[in-house]
Structure 1
Amino acid sequence: MGSAPTADPRVVVIVAFPGVLGLDVVGPLEVFAMANRFGARPAYATSVVSMTGGMLTASSGLVIGTEPAGTIAGPVDTLMVAGGYSTRQAADDLDLVRWLAGTALSARRVTSVCSGALLLARAGLLDGRRATTHWSVCDTLASHFPSVRVETSRVYVRDGDVWTSGGVTAGIDLALALVENDHGPALAMAAAREMVVFVHRPSEFPQISAQLAVRRPLREPLRDLLALIAEHPDADLSVPALAHRCAMSVRTFSRVFHRETGTTPAAFVQASRLQTAQRLIKASEATFEDIARTCGFGTVETMYRTFQRVLGTTPGQLRGQPRGGSEPVIERRRNP
Structure 2
Amino acid sequence: MNKSRILVVALIVVLLCLAGGSYSIFGGKVSIGLGLAAFANEDKYTIGDTEITSVVENLDIDWTSGKVNIEYHAGSGVSVSEVANRTTSEDEKLRWWLDGTTLRIKFSKPQLTIFNNLKKTLTVSLPEGITLKNVDIDTTSADVTVPSMTADEIKFDTTSGDVNAVVTTKKLSASSTSGDLNIRQDSEINTASFSTTSGTAVFTVPSAEKISMESTSGDLSVSVSGTVADLHLDSTSGAIRPDIATADKAKFSSTSGDITAALVSFKDLNVDATSGDVTLKLPEISGFTLDLDARPSKLHSSLAMTKKGDDQYVYGDGSARLRIDTTSGDIHIDK
TM-score range, shorter chain: under 0.3
Structure with more of its chain in strand, by fraction? 2
* TM-score, with structure 1 as normaliser: 0.26
Q: Which has the larger radius of gyration?
A: 2
Structure with more of its chain in helix, by fraction? 1
* TM-score, with structure 2 as normaliser: 0.26
